[in-house]
Amino acid sequence: MYRGQQGGYINEYISQFNATINNQNGDKLSNFFNLESSVNKRVIKEVSSLSNVKRYCENQVAPPFNEALEYHFLSLISKQSDNFVDLYANQKETNLSAQRILKGESNWLTPALKVLNMQLRITAKKADQFLKKKGEKSDRREDSARVLTQEYQITVTDRAPLHLSKKW
């Protein structure tokens, strides 16, 4: 049994997350991926107490969404500890996971991707500021631009009918 699994809110969170995916509700999914949302503020304590975030997500959420949720949970943990470099790294992996999912889905994910992209830019800026203060190389914003460009390529090359297109 996972530490923290007994807690009530993480079970409800996972149940609602899975239902959101099954219903292909991108607006609601964007709330799950928003680091500042109240649902994440309520679940962070239980997420932080998980002994193995990856295994927990693999057991609770079907692929490929389990990987995106895993990195999102790791982002929440990094945010809670004000570790901006790890926060950026985990947020980047969340975005890359979402991009891999987007390739196989229709446009219902776009609201969540909008939130993820904004957060990637914000976390890159914070990581760069932190690294600059330490006198280290600060290249996270450039790296985030490459990630965002990859996503743009996915959307701009989409040839689906307009009502399913990732362009909108």
Position 106 scores a pLDDT of: 75
Which of left, alpha, beta for 61 (phi over 0: left; psi -120 to 50: alpha)?
beta
In the structure, what pLDDT confidence band is assigned to residue 28 with cuts at 50, 70 and 90?
very high
Q: What is the pLDDT of residues 70-116, one digit of tens each?
A: 999 999 999 999 999 999 999 999 999 999 998 888 789 989 999 99
| Residue closest to 93 by CA, chosen among 62, 64, 51 | 64
| Residue closest to 26 by CA, chosen among 84, 106, 91, 110 | 110
Please tell me the pTM assigned to this model.
0.88
Q: What is the pLDDT of residues 35-78, one digit of tens each?
A: 999 999 999 999 999 999 999 999 999 999 999 999 999 999 99
Residue 50 backbone dihedrals phi, psi, to 5 degrees: -65, 135
